[in-house]
Structure 1
Amino acid sequence: MPVPRSAAVSAVVAAALGAGLLAAGSSAAADPAAATAARIHDIQGTTRTSPLAGQQVADVPGVVTGVRTYGSSKGFWFQDTAPDDDPATSEGVFVFTGSAPKVAVGDAVTVSGTVTEYVPGGLSSGNQSLTQISKPAVTVVSSGNALPAPVAVTARTVPDRYTPAGDPAAGNSVNALTLKPKKYALDYYESLEGMNVRIGTSRIVGATDPYSELWVTVKPHENRTRRGGTLYASYDDQNTGRLQIQSLVPAAQQPFPKANVGDTLTGATEGPLDFNQFGGYTITARTLGTVKDNGLKRESTRKQRTGELAVATYNVENLDPSDPQAKFDALADGVVSHLASPDIVALEEIQDNNGAKNDGTVDASATLKKFTDAIVAKGGPAYQWRSIDPENLKDGGEPGGNIRQVFLFNPARVSFTDRPGGDAKTAVGVTGTKGHPALTLSPGRIDPANPAWADSRKPLAGEFVFQGRTVFVIANHFASKGGDEGLVSQHQPVPRSSEAKRLLQAQAVNGFVKQLLAVDKHARVLALGDINDFDFSGTTKALEDGGALRSAFRTLPRKDRYSYVYQGNTQVLDQILTSPAVRGFDYDSVHINAEFADQNSDHDPQVIRFRP
């Protein structure tokens, strides 16, 4: 999604930017000295930031390779037809015009203006910067010229190592490091910033999103899942072949194709290589390949057997009564047709009765009635629900929405043990004699006054009975990754600041589970929900501490361990963790949303079946 470009920065500011200290747009005027004669490779230089940042350049020659006439980032790319012999210096650059450019592809031009470094998302994003020419004066020398031959980006040209470590003296920034395009993938892409590039037929690893973008990989065998995605299975394996694809043709002229994970973008896709806030290196396609539908289908799990308890978790993405009935119907169909009507469903992101309207409403009964009615209409059970209304604006999420976790349960198969007194502020405890643990409140919230839950959803604990056996279920929605820097951050290794809060949250839940196990080491406990973190993360390890819990994802084949797709990386966010007494279970991550352009939620639900 195009984003606005900033104004010039001085050479001093550019130096600070290179050290990771300042963002483009800082209040420093460009040096009004005489303009410098330069070629594009002089402007781009051998690092991520231009040696000429903040300086005026004059009569820079090149041929226009792409024009962007829509969005807030209007401008064009042009490329030198007389390159140097240094593989670290790009021969293309973006010219930010701010309004529709008066040039066409194939125009030979000279450009004068100010060299600037723009940081998409601002300095706090940690993003690398885009070198560009701002406030340009453009002269068209001739038209109809042949374009520079595109650089073929292939599995052989993209290195397997993702990025170098940043310079500790510069806050672990990579900005000032000399590019090594034959060694690191991000260095390779940076060495092509602004240049005309081409990919051939490629597998789609991120479905078309609402902003007319999709993701491909140029590495067909890199961590491929069985359904065609690219698995993100380690902080050290970022999947180097991923690239975002946008189109330079406005949607009104040519609709962007709808594609699912596992489809194929066939033929050549060619255009300038951009860098943006919402994905990093992006081919802005002047020529877009054709999507081949490879027939990805939504999965359906099996029905639980008579003696099996089926428990699911599903993030329904900010559901409230103002959503179209079609969304309720589709989510209900997911529960009935694809999850086979589990006995217990822990829901995340149920909003209050008027959604994002911020008027103090916290009750969600209308939302839940509309959803459970939709489930019945799809042939599902008449679920009952249990939940605790949050305090207004205290649990994060969309302002005014007051999202919370909710238990749905089928009273024909399982009973809920109601113990009154649970509210937004009262902590649930563990009681009972040896071998017979019980919750003091059911439902109840775990340690809601703990600072770990500030502006975040508090875990909801409930006590259920299935065929005479007690099962404790803890519904979670941990703090989001909002504020974390992306994989293309200038800071390497990438800081993950949000993990600190999730770590504390995981420790709180782990501690509560240990209280149950202290009364009965054979207690059957499930901790589940949108954990907002990977199965290999420190958060998951903290939940598992001391053997109190174990992620059920570990029982699945490695290539099926995912519930979410982000920037072409297929990954885990939603989990079900089990106490040691939950044995012989059958676990399924049911892929019905994350891989599809047509989504009812951005998360795939999870389900576990076992005999208590």
Structure 2
Amino acid sequence: MNRNVLKGSFMLLGLTALLSACGTTAPVSTYTCPADATVTAIAAVQGSGEASPLVGQTVTVRGVVTLDTQPGLSGFYLQDVRPDADNKTSDAVFVFTGTASKDVKVGDVVQVTGTVKEFNGLTEIDPVTAVTACGKTMLPLATTVTFPLTSPTALEAVEGMLVRVATPMTVTDTFTLGRFGELGLSSGGRLFVPTNGQGGSRESNRLRTLRLDDLSSRQNPATIPYLSDADPQTATRRAGDTVSNLEGVIHYANSAYKLQPTKTPIFTPTNPRTAAPKEVGGTLKVAGANVLNYFTTLGSAGRGASNPTEFARQKAKIVAELRALNADVITLMEVENNGETALDNLVAALNTAAGKTEFASVKTGKVGTDAIRMAIIYRPERVETVGSAQIDTNAVHSRPPVAQTFRDRSGKGIFTVVANHFKSKGSCPTSGDVDRGQGCWNLQRVEQAKALLDFAGRLKAIDPDVLLMGDLNAYGEEDPIKTIEAAGFESLNKRIPAEDRYSYQFNGEFGYLDHALSSSTLSAQVTGITEWHINSDEPVVLDYNIEFKKHPECTATNCTSPDLYAPTPYRSSDHDPVLVGLKLTADQ
């Protein structure tokens, strides 16, 4: 059984009940082990390197059970009652019992005979041939651990041991919370992508990181741990929240050190949800929103909703997001490129929710050849179009930019907005435009930025006030953004405080891929900008999808997680929307 990939098939106990049991220890030390056994110190089994020097050898080890995770991890942790004096060697080891569970309890002193094994980086005893009960004793004191670590493998010296994390930690990764019951934690606040502008490096980020597990390797747990509550309307655990009372055992799996808690972690919601974005001022508001494959063609090769139920759920979330933005013009990314069908569907849903004809769309028909396209919607009561939409047909673009000029009906000022979606960092080639620190296809994104500047130059002939919006698939200090800035456009996102400057999360690191850049003449007319963090901070399990969830239409055997869907803006997409305030100068 591949425990790292399959994540086990054992029943998950309630986390609170199990943690309570883990805290039970004997008040006195009363144990006697067989005197004729040749016992190997656990530190000798662990060794001072990443792998045990005794792999493949049969040993007998003796220690106290510090944590029994047989229901979830198919084993228990054993820590030597007589630790050595070497801080480089761990005094504990994982005893893998598989389906042959052993009758052990926290505080039991046991003698275990078995074979030393390295399982994907975890030193363990497997298979076990004998477990002898000796009595009971007090648990060892937890070893204090601080972050950032001194090296990526620093926790190897306490693998399997009881530890206490003394450093304040922040939730920085919620991606696998619903799937595997894990959270990524970091010291010094959330982690940022090094090329986003907040500094740091991939190496320093790694030294700040620890994963908090749920005592189980089960996929799609029936009870999702660490959520704020169980109400689908409010349940969440947002990145940016802080956590304390971190005590437990250090485990290693899936190429990461994980804390299996022996005490219930205490979360503080230091990054709460907001019902609306921050104020940006001005008399007009312009937004950019990635709607994550809004497809009316259902089941389109993994894009968008798979069935009518999912589509209804997706639509409700997107509508809630776009209406709460309260913007007068909205650029949209990842609308299905099927003429006006998908866009008209979304506009109709917005107007139905408003109870009136509140939004209209800029008509472009199918744009380019990609499955997704950009689109622009607006409030006719607030702005009117000037001329028709403009599309940049330069072949370098993955998805052609779409532009529209608008006039403010009240103040009569004019501006042009351009919706963009540069080539993604994924689907890497084996040679050529490979990842050199800014993701794959960076060179092509630079060329797309240059083409966009040429397009913007032509648009300025209509009016010099141009606003470039969209998912540029480049972080704030990467070459495509620098290229646009060097041509005189202002990156408005940089007006946002550094700690709040993000719209996307990947592998526990945050940054902004969703941009607003203004021409020099427009910058003075910009009154504010914000990124509304309704998506990147939220767990994926809250989205509209029904797979793996206890939903009537999910009938597979792995439909075991609770369905926490709610028709709210939160986790409506994977990108946060951007909102810009404008106070336009009247057109002369």
TM-score interval for Structure 1 and Structure 2 normalised by the shorter chain:
0.5 to 0.7
Aligned equivalent of 2:147, options 155, 158, 164? 158
Aligned equivalent of 2:238: 260
Give yes or no for contact 1:247–1:286 (8 Å, CA) kept in 2: no
Work out whether residues 510 and 548 of structure 1, in 8 Å CA contact, stay in contact via their aligned partners in 2: no
- The answer to whether the Cα contact below 8 Å between 1:348 and 1:477 also exists between their aligned partners in 2 is no
TM-score with structure 1 setting the length: 0.65
Aligned to 1:79: 79
Deviation at 1:473? 0.3
1:565 Cα deviation after fit: 4.2
Distance in 1, matches of 2:103 and 2:367, equals 56
The change in CA–CA distance for 1:541 and 1:276 in structure 2 (over 3 A counts) is farther
Select the residue among 391, 407, 420 that pairs with 1:444. Answer: 391
Residue 132 of structure 2 is aligned with which of 131, 137, 141?
A: 141
Relative contact order higher in (CA < 8 Å, ≥ 6 apart): 2
Q: Deviations over 1:473-503 (max 9, x none)?
A: 032154145779xxxxxxxxxx766613134
C-alpha distance in structure 1 between counterparts of 2:59 and 2:125, whole Å = 12
Using the TM superposition, give the Cα deviation of residue 513 of structure 1 relative to its aligned residue in structure 2, in angstroms: 0.8
Distance 1:109 1:408 in 2: 70
Aligned AA (1:233): Q
The letter for the 2-side match of 1:151 is: T
Asked if residue 312 in structure 1 is aligned to residue 304 in structure 2, the reply is no
Structure 2 unmatched runs, 5+: 8-37, 229-236, 297-307, 430-434, 543-570
The number of equivalent residue pairs is 473
Tell me the equivalent position of 1:24. Answer: none
1-side partners of 2:69 and 2:443: how far apart? Answer: 43
Say whether 1:191 aligns with 2:157.
yes
Paired with 2:118 and 2:530, the residues of 1 have a C-alpha distance of: 50
> Residues of 1 paired with 2:381 and 2:361: CA distance?
10
Deviations 1:112-154 (A, max 9, x none): 2353252xxxxxxxxxxx233374224222265543332223x
- Cα distance in structure 1, aligned partners of 2:92 and 2:167: 24
Q: Is the 8 A contact 1:152 1:199 kept in 2?
A: yes
Confirm or deny that 1:65 pairs with 2:66. Answer: yes
- Looking at structure 1, the residues matched to 94 and 386 of structure 2 have their Cα atoms a distance apart, in angstroms, of 63
1:600: which partner in 2?
572
CA distance in 2, matches of 1:292, 1:519: 49
Deviation at 1:95, TM superposition (A): 4.6
Query: Is 1:233 paired with 2:198?
Result: yes
What is residue 551 of structure 2 aligned with on the other side? none
Task: Verify the 8 A CA contact 2:58 2:114 in the aligned structure 1.
Answer: yes
Paired residue for 1:286? 262
Which residue of structure 2 aligns with residue 357 of structure 1?
Answer: none
How much does 1:542 deviate? 4.0
Q: 1:256 to 1:302 in 2, by over 3 A?
A: closer
Counterpart among 519, 535, 538 of residue 476 in structure 2: 535
Mark the CA change 1:587 to 1:110 in structure 2 (over 3 Å): closer, same or farther.
Answer: same
> Alpha-carbon deviations, 1:320-362, whole Å to 9, x = none?
453253442333222222x22x232222233x4xxxxxxxxx6
Amino acid at match of 2:130: T
TM-score, structure 2 as length reference: 0.68
CA gap of 1:144–1:461, structure 2 versus 1, over 3 A, is farther
SS at match of 1:197: strand
Quick one: which amino acid aligns to residue 571 of structure 1?
G
1:539-559 C-alpha deviation (Å, 9 max, x unpaired)? 433443x33433212122222
Specify whether residues 343 and 67 from structure 1 end up closer, same or farther in structure 2 by C-alpha distance, changes over 3 A only. Answer: same
Match of 1:132 in 2: 123
The answer on whether the counterparts of 2:213 and 2:258 sit within 8 Å (CA) in structure 1 is: yes
Tell me: CA distance 1:82–1:5, structure 2 relative to 1, closer, same or farther (3 Å).
farther
Q: Quickly say closer, same or farther: Cα 1:468–1:538, change in 2 above 3 A.
A: closer
- Name the CA distance, whole Å, in 2 between partners of 1:232 and 1:61: 51
Deviation at 1:590, TM superposition (A): 1.8
**Per-residue CA shift, 1:506-548, capped at 9, x if unaligned?**
332233314543785984333332334421234433443x334
Q: Residue 587 of structure 1 corresponds to which residue in structure 2?
A: 529
CA RMSD of aligned residues (A): 4.1
Decide whether aligned partners of structure 1 residues 255 and 543 sit closer, same or farther in structure 2, where only a CA change above 3 A counts: same
| Closer, same or farther: CA 145–540 of 1 in aligned 2, 3 Å | farther
* 1:331 alignment partner, one of 318, 327, 336: 318
For residues 380 and 153 of structure 2, the distance between their equivalents in structure 1, rounded to whole angstroms, comes to 58
Counterparts of 1:438-587 in structure 2, within 5 Å, are: 442-444=389-391, 447-448=394-395, 450=396, 457-466=398-407, 467=412, 469-480=414-425, 499-514=439-454, 516-517=456-457, 520=460, 523-544=464-485, 546-566=486-506, 569-584=509-524, 585=526, 586-587=528-529
Q: Contact between 2:468 and 2:517, CA under 8 Å: does it hold in 1? A: yes
Q: Which amino acid aligns with 1:525?
A: V
State the Cα distance separating 1:239 from its structure 2 match.
7.6
Aligned equivalent of 2:233: none
**Residue deviations 1:559-580, cap 9 Å, x none?**
2212234555443232222333
**Counterpart amino acid of 1:588?**
T
1:205 equivalenced with 2:184 (yes/no):
no
Contact 2:60 2:114 in 1 (8 A): yes
Q: Is the alpha carbon distance of 1:232 and 1:577 closer, same or farther for their aligned partners in structure 2, counting shifts above 3 Å?
A: closer
Superposed CA deviations along residues 405-435 of structure 1, whole A, max 9, x for unmatched, are 332233344445676xxxxxxxxxxxxxxxx
Cα distance, 1:272 vs structure 2: 2.0
- Whole-angstrom distance in 2 between the partners of 1:553 and 1:114: 54
Matching residue of 2:375: 406
Q: Matched residue of 1:4: which SS?
A: helix
Distance 1:460 1:115, change over 3 A: same
Asked if the contact 1:201/1:265 (under 8 Å) is kept, the reply is no
Other-structure match for 1:17: none
Aligned to 1:297: 273
Alignment CA distance shift 1:83-1:557 (3 Å):
same
What amino acid maps onto 1:116 in structure 2? E
Q: Which residue of 2 aligns with 1:372?
A: 347
Deviation of residue 284 (structure 1)?
1.9
Query: What is the SS of the residue equivalent to 1:315?
Result: strand
2-structure distance, mates of 1:238, 1:145: 39
Distance 1:81 1:538 in 2: 56
Q: State the partner residue of 2:249.
A: 272
Give the letter for the 1:383 counterpart. Answer: A
Whole-angstrom CA distance in 1 between matches of 2:263 and 2:116: 30
CA contact (8 A) 2:122 2:251 kept: no
Match of 1:56 in 2: 57
Q: CA separation of 1:404/1:88 partners in 2, compared to 1, >3 Å: closer, same or farther? A: farther
Contact 1:348 1:406 in 2 (8 A): yes
Secondary structure of the residue aligned to 2:529 is strand
Q: 1:324 to 1:547 in 2, by over 3 A?
A: same
C-alpha distance in structure 1 between counterparts of 2:367 and 2:131, whole Å = 62
CA contact (8 A) 1:386 1:443 kept: no
Structure 1 unaligned regions, length at least 5? 7-35, 119-129, 160-180, 226-230, 353-361, 396-401, 420-441, 485-494
Q: Secondary structure at the match of 2:444?
A: helix
1:233 to partner: Cα distance? 1.9
With over 3 angstroms needed to count, the CA separation of the structure-2 counterparts of 1:608 and 1:295, relative to structure 1, is closer
